[in-house]
Chain A
Amino acid sequence: MNVMIKALSSHRLAVLTMLLAMHLVFVGTLAQRHLDIWQVQERYFHTWFAWVDSDYEGWSLPVPMVGGYGIGFMLLANLSAAYLTRLRWSRGKLGVHMIHLGVIALLFGELGSSLFSKESQMRLEEGDTLNYSEDVRNWELSFRVLAVDGEDIDVVVPRELLKTGEAVSIQELGLEALVKDVSRPTQEVPRVEFALPGQESVVLTGLDTQDRELKLGGRTVLAALRHRRYYKPYALTLESFTHERYSGTSIDRLFSSLVRLRDPDHGEDKTLTISMNKPLRHKGETFYQASYEEGGASILQVVQNPVWWLPYLSCVLVALGMSTHFITKFSMSRKGRP
């Protein structure tokens, strides 16, 4: 047992973990030539075990590695064991301890955002008003029943509920749809084929530019396969989009969106500017100027991360720890002199 604890708390394990982490980061960086950043995060960093994925390198043997979660866990276990057995809480070491606490906060911050943060986008042309953002890496099947009198009815089926060969009951329409074929989540262009009672089978893809019109028992239904939407209790309007280049070059000098935010719940109605390095924060969500399309559409990245403060806490701890360390070292070296 003692041997185990000694090994667990050893410098050797710390060094080994850091070297493993380096290897993982290196492989995870190389993989970005072939995978997008989200796939890389899923496969290498936000996972317990990872494979040096070889299909793209043309090797036949995948090599197992400890994933990001595994590395984090090893570091935590090592540090906790070291604190419990080996390290002493002396004043001279206070700074070093704070730096290590900062590193722990950093690890938890990354764990938290991998679990809880939600990213989506808003694409706005000038004059557009939107009360939802879209998750461009996920999609859903939507039906809109056009009203004969009263309001339209919207029905949304998330991708997870669509499975080949299974039926999905859509209560609002009082019918069942049989899913004949559905694309895998990794496929670039989503596609779904389904049949409604008494109808020919319908094929929808993510490339469709118009909603499909279906006649169901005298009612008109618009069906579409679209990016997953997150509806919000407030709306954004793009008043104007500014895009400047340095004269005589193709280098972007600035792009910024003038938006109007209307939040009836809070009685807010204000106009403000979102630009690079100057986001808008509202109700736990942050809107960043991410990109633009030629022709004036502005693309805002919408991020919700409940643990955004953890890295900041970590930075404070590290900064305090470093200053404490230098001050104690300095005063000790002063004392040591004759």
Chain B
Amino acid sequence: MDVFVRKFTGKITGWLAYGYAKTQRTADTLTFPPSHDRRHTLNVVMQAPGPLRGQLGVRLGFGSPLPYTGIVGQWLHRNYNSELHVFDHFETESVSREINGERFPFYARIDVGLRWRVEKWGGVLRPYVQVVNVLNRKNVWVYAFDYDQVPPTRSGLSQLPFLPAVGVEFEF
């Protein structure tokens, strides 16, 4: 189900989009939610007059938790040496729970941008300042587990961090 509302008039314009979805996959006898099974998705985009006669843009993104497969241990996947009949090397691999049986924390991000428009040198200059992920929320990209130590730990990588950018466009 999708809902889309847009405002065209007034000083403040923008739109709101909401989506509700539920997805399942079946492989052989196994049914599980795929990695993109996100129940709720909300995007709010707003434009308004900014300082110094610029234009302010704000975008809010929210996503309910995505599934991932939980890790409960690590095993040594050994390499068999057929010449000598020994296992002589190994690779450490994860032991998982049921497929996509757990969920990451929810996703949320706010981006803010300011743009100006100046006619110059026979063209149009558009300087801008923007910040991605203003609140520096660490939205999870991937987890990494270490069960080879006591106590076991979880680390990982997040998606885009607080990311400021400055630039200028010139149209002629």
Answer yes or no: do A and B interact: no
- Give me the interface of B with A, judged by CB distance under 8 Å: none
